[in-house]
Structure 1
Amino acid sequence: METIKSKKEFERVFSGGRRYNHRLVRITVLRVSEGGLNKVAFVAPKRLGNAVFRNRCKRVLRAAAYECGLPSEDASIIMFATKATHGASSVEVAYALSQLLRKAGVRCDGD
């Protein structure tokens, strides 16, 4: 899975991307036609909790992204964990992610 690693790539997605929210996950999407990179990133901010809590959230996000077939050929996506991500299963987060991707107009292989 190709991931966004550099600060420059993050800034590119943040500045040009659109944001979509769900209780379990938040995403920022930059379409390829708008200069996308076809990569994905997983973010769990420090305000969520300690390292163990944040790492669990990122594992759930990675599993959900795998179920949805990310990274998509259509866009670059940054996925943000929420407090509710920790207690949710990867299947629940994958369903929420597929709904957000549909809103964003990005193809999800998990559908």
Structure 2
Amino acid sequence: MRTIKSKMDFERVFTQGRRYNHPLMRMVICDSLSEGDPGRVAFAAPKRLGCAVVRNRSKRVLRETARHQGFPAAGREIILFATRGTACARPEELSGALKSLCKRAGLDG
């Protein structure tokens, strides 16, 4: 899974991307700069969620859910943000939430 690593790319996706919200996660999606790019994804958990243990667990469950769904989508750059319910949600709930976000965004996820 290719990830967004540079701050510049992260900020570009965050400012230019389209936002989709669900109680268990948020998604920001933007088209890739180059044509035919395989796509990249980033996982974020804001400090307001809690201590580092909670934030890291939230990112881990988001990463596993995205891997299970076959992320990242080709030609897209996606940021998945954890919410308060992410860390304690069951995998089936997170999978359903990601499918719902993908459907609203027009992805084949």
TM-score by length of structure 2 reads 0.90
Unaligned runs of 5+ in 1: none
* 1:1-111 equivalences in 2 (<5 Å): 1-32=1-32, 35=33, 38-108=39-109
Residue deviations 1:66-102, cap 9 Å, x none?
A: 1110011141110000010011022211210111011
Q: 1:78 to 1:15 in 2, by over 3 A?
A: same
Structure 1: 4+ residue segments shifted above 4 A: none
**How large is the Cα RMSD of the aligned pairs?**
1.4
Is 1:64–1:91's contact at 8 Å kept on the other side of the alignment? no
The amino acid that maps onto 1:68 is Q
The amino acid that maps onto 1:10 is F
Cα separation, 2, equivalents of 1:86 and 1:96:
13
Higher share of residues assigned helix: 1
Aligned residues with identical type, % of pairs: 51
SS at match of 1:106: coil
Unaligned runs of 5+ in 2: none
Cα separation, 2, equivalents of 1:6 and 1:74:
18
Cα separation, 1, equivalents of 2:91 and 2:3:
19
Residue deviations 1:29-61, cap 9 Å, x none?
A: 1134xx376100000111100011111101110
SS at match of 2:74: coil
Cα separation, 2, equivalents of 1:21 and 1:66:
20
Cα separation, 1, equivalents of 2:3 and 2:92:
21
The amino acid that maps onto 2:66 is A
**CA deviation after TM superposition for structure 1 residue 16, in Å:** 1.4
